[in-house]
Amino acid sequence: MGKIVTISGKDYDFDALNDTAQKMATNVMAADARLEQLRAELAMIQLARDVYAKTLVENLPRGEGEATPPAHGVVH
């Protein structure tokens, strides 16, 4: 028995699938991997954006006695 793939909750022997099913399973796995990469990249970019916005707010001119405003949702 070769590589096992799970599709809709059921396990299949990859080598037993026809060519089209093998190609589609490979495409789904590639798409899933790319989605995971994009989610990680998005999280990193969101974190960077939040740091930039916080630093921006901390460096805005303030009036005397004025507290630093919260950084969340600051730049639109």
Distance CA 59, CA 39 (A): 30
Per-residue pLDDT of 38-74, as tens digits, reads 999 999 999 999 999 999 999 999 887 777 666 666 6
- How large is the average pLDDT for residues 27-44? 98
Cross-strand bridge partners of residue 12:
5
- The H-or-E segment that residue 37 falls in is helix 19-58
Domain boundaries, the chain: 1-37
